[in-house]
């Protein structure tokens, strides 16, 4: 191909390299100049143009793109008509995109003028979705180069691109139960699972429930019907000897793999029973958000065998927790951005309304500790951590407490009923929270040794979709404060009465609790008495 400045006497049949507008004449980039165009340009006083003129051995961009696309497209792939050197390829059916990555890389390395771009391997695609595009960069390519590309593409093996359509599997869901598991959560899981299966063309044909015990669950597994068996445990699987894997083996099945390098989805279990796949679900499968369970489910519905090696190869690209642009719809608006990363929104409550009766006449929150009032140690730890918003609840000696807080960037919530007990401060704090918080860290104003790093450990562990909905700090196994609660518990906390806090929720929802071992004893140190104050200062 000859490219550059051409005299008009040699420009007929050439491709105009740039749009040209002069007088009443307009010619678009890529126009093939004909005799009338040449004459019109001459009348405008133009004697030369920048253009590309094909040699006899050249293939035009559209023809080259169409030939490559035709050789590339495999099962359930539709290639559209070429335009400006481009052919877009679309999925003809819903399914899983399969690529020959090695040969696609080889194609893209033959010549810089010839390119193909695709979605990632194993992308979940819907009918009519674009999966790849072939683009010829210049106006033409040499036939010899094109033949090199076609030889790399069409070498007798399967086509480079294909879609494995999803099959209509019948699925049986078994859920185990514990006294702490609410029926509403189990019912929600049924709905979420049915929607997930329907999107892949599957059907939830049965749902049954079993006590969270090996013998009872094994009996349900033996009786299960369908092409695929899903088991959602009331408690997360923590070991190959746990209830779910033990029950699968007791029913005559085998465990193929436990765990996966995908987050969320780490605690997935892959098994087999009588030739049927059996999946022990991670806690995040109760949510419609994309997780590792979806990746395994998609491959099974596409008729692909999933092996232990397949699962262990999912780590690259497997960090799904912070990625909002994944194909599975999410049930809430995008999380706010903080410090350059997408994350869950966590607010902190600092309870500072109490009367300090065990300290005598002195308000412990105003006592000087290392140069500043005790309450400000707790507040500053929250402000310097990764929580997004801090609410301080005041009541007893409210004006004095408000004064020492000063201009700190917190929301002050006044609790007029502080004398009625801790529960009233919790309610006042919750009412002052910003909307759409994902979690609330309930802290005490009398914990001066707590630092930002301690709080950040709790925030980092917090993930309701993985079963970490209540994060409790521990020191050598002993539980302390503050405690981080998912927003799903806010109504329960608001409904507490009397001089009690929210710690009883930890026992009531033990399957949703995650203990975070701390690196120091700050989570156990609160100052309620003068003896405790003296011990702190010694």
At residue 440's C-alpha, the angle toward residues 437 and 499, to 5°, is 135
**CA neighbor of 188 nearest in space, from 223, 226, 218, 232:** 232
Chain center to CA of 151: 40
- Burial pattern 212-234, b for ≥16 Cβ within 10 A else e, equals bebebbbebbeebebbbbbbbbb
**Least confident window among 39-43, 281-285, 391-395, 399-403:** 39-43
Six token digits for residue 31? 């126009």
Predicted confidence band of residue 66 (pLDDT cuts 50, 70, 90)? very high
- In whole angstroms, what is the distance from residue 68 CA to residue 70 CA? 5
**pLDDT number for residue 359:** 66
pLDDT digits (tens, 9 = 90+) for 197-255: 999 999 999 999 999 999 999 999 999 999 999 999 998 898 999 999 999 999 999 99
Mean pLDDT confidence for 119-144: 92
342 pLDDT exceeds 50?
no
Domains recognised in the chain with CATH numbers: 2-53 (3.90.105.10), 58-165 (3.90.1170.30), 170-312 (3.40.980.10), 341-537 (3.90.550.10)
Q: How far is CA 493 from CA 335, 466, 526, in A?
A: 24, 22, 22
Helices (runs of H) and strands (runs of E) counted in the chain: 16, 32
Predicted confidence band of residue 84 (pLDDT cuts 50, 70, 90)? confident
Is the CA virtual torsion 508, 513, 516, 522 positive or negative? Answer: negative
Highest mean predicted confidence (pLDDT) among 7-16, 452-461, 527-536: 452-461
Q: To the nearest 10°, the Cα dihedral for 290, 293, 299, 303?
A: -130
Q: How far is CA 266 from CA 141, 220, 445, in A?
A: 48, 25, 36
- In whole angstroms, what is the distance from residue 478 CA to residue 201 CA? 48
- In whole angstroms, what is the distance from residue 313 CA to residue 197 CA? 24
Six token digits for residue 206? 């049965």
Q: To the nearest 10°, the Cα dihedral for 312, 317, 323, 324?
A: -100
Q: How far is CA 132 from CA 82, 86, 126, 128, 227, in A?
A: 13, 11, 13, 12, 32
**pLDDT number for residue 323:** 54
Residue that is written with structure tokens 């980039």 in the block = 29
Q: Between residues 25 and 303, which one has the greater pLDDT?
A: 303
Q: Between residues 519 and 147, which one has the greater pLDDT?
A: 147
**pLDDT number for residue 2:** 75
Six token digits for residue 273? 């029973």
Mean pLDDT confidence for 313-323: 83
Six token digits for residue 42? 């001459």
Q: Which residues, at least 6 apart from 450, have a Cβ–Cβ distance to it below 8 Å?
A: 377, 378, 381, 443, 482, 522, 523, 525
Cβ atoms < 10 Å from Cβ of 332: 10
- In whole angstroms, what is the distance from residue 19 CA to residue 296 CA? 50
**pLDDT number for residue 327:** 44
**pLDDT number for residue 391:** 95
3-state helix, strand, coil in the chain (%, to 5): 30, 30, 40
Q: By three-state DSSP, how is residue 259 classified?
A: coil
Q: Between residues 155 and 464, which one has the greater pLDDT?
A: 464
Mean of the per-residue pLDDT values of the chain: 88
Q: What are residue 117's phi and psi, to 5 degrees?
A: -120, 140
Six token digits for residue 484? 């981080």
Q: By three-state DSSP, how is residue 366 classified?
A: helix
Six token digits for residue 30? 């890529």
**pLDDT number for residue 537:** 67
**CA neighbor of 77 nearest in space, from 62, 65, 63, 89:** 89
- In whole angstroms, what is the distance from residue 191 CA to residue 384 CA? 40
Chain center to CA of 197: 19
Residue that is written with structure tokens 């958000």 in the block = 289
Q: By three-state DSSP, how is residue 473 classified?
A: strand
**Least confident window among 135-139, 164-168, 463-467:** 463-467
Q: Between residues 312 and 287, which one has the greater pLDDT?
A: 312
**CA neighbor of 54 nearest in space, from 63, 41, 44, 45:** 63
Six token digits for residue 430? 């919750």
- Do residues 118 and 137 make contact, with C-beta atoms less than 8 angstroms apart? no
**CA neighbor of 393 nearest in space, from 367, 423, 363:** 423
- Do residues 269 and 237 make contact, with C-beta atoms less than 8 angstroms apart? yes
CA atoms within 13 A on the CB side of 134: 32
């Amino acid at each position: 191909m000859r490219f550059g400045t051409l005299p008009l006497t040699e420009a007929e049949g050439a491709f105009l390299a740039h749009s040209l507008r002069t007088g009443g004449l307009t010619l678009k980039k890529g126009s093939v100049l004909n005799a009338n165009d040449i004459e019109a340009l001459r009348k405008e006083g133009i004697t030369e143009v920048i253009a590309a003129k094909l040699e006899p051995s050249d293939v035009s961009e559209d023809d080259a793109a169409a030939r490559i696309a035709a050789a590339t497209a495999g099962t359930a792939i539709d290639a559209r008509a070429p335009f400006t050197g481009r052919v877009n390829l679309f999925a003809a059916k819903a399914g899983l995109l399969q690529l020959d990555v090695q040969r696609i890389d080889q194609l893209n390395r033959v010549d810089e003028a010839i390119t193909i771009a695709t979605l990632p391997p194993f992308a979940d695609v819907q009918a009519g979705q674009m999966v790849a595009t072939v683009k010829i960069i210049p106006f033409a390519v040499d036939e010899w180069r094109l033949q090199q590309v076609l030889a790399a593409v069409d070498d007798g093996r399967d086509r480079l691109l294909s879609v494995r359509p999803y099959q209509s599997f019948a699925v049986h869901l078994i859920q185990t139960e514990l006294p702490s598991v609410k029926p509403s959560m189990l019912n929600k899981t049924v709905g979420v699972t049915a929607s997930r299966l329907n999107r892949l063309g599957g059907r939830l044909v049965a749902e049954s429930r079993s006590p969270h015990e090996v013998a009872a669950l094994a009996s349900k597994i033996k009786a299960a019907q369908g092409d695929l068996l899903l088991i959602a445990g009331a408690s997360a699987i923590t070991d190959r000897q746990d209830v779910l894997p033990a029950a699968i083996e007791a029913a005559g099945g085998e465990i193929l793999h436990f765990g996966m390098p995908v987050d969320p989805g780490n605690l997935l279990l892959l098994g087999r029973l009588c030739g049927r796949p059996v999946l022990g679900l991670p806690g995040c499968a109760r949510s419609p958000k994309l997780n590792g369970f979806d990746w395994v489910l998609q491959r099974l519905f596409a008729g692909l065998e999933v092996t232990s090696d397949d699962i262990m190869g999912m780590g690259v690209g497997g960090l799904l927790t912070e990625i909002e642009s994944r194909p599975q719809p999410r049930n809430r608006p995008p999380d706010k951005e903080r410090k350059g990363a997408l994350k869950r929104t966590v607010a902190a409550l600092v309870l500072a309304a109490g009367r300090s009766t065990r300290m005598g006449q002195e308000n412990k929150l105003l006592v000087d500790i290392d140069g500043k009032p005790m309450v400000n140690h707790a507040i500053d730890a929250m402000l310097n951590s990764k929580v997004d918003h801090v609410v301080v609840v005041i009541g007893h000696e409210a004006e004095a407490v408000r004064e020492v807080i000063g201009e700190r960037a917190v929301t002050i919530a006044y609790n007029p009923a502080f004398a009625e007990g801790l529960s009233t401060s919790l309610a006042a704090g919750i009412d002052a929270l910003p909307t759409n918080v994902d979690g609330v860290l309930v802290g005490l104003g009398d914990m001066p040794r707590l630092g930002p790093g301690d709080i950040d450990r709790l925030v980092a562990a917090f993930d309701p979709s993985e079963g970490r909905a209540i994060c409790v700090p521990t020191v050598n196994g002993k539980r302390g404060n503050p405690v981080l609660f998912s927003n799903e518990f806010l109504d329960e906390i608001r409904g507490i009465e009397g001089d009690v806090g929210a710690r009883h929720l930890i026992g009531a929802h033990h399957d949703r609790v995650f203990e975070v071992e701390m690196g120091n004893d700050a989570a156990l140190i609160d100052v309620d008495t003068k003896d405790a104050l003296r011990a702190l200062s010694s």
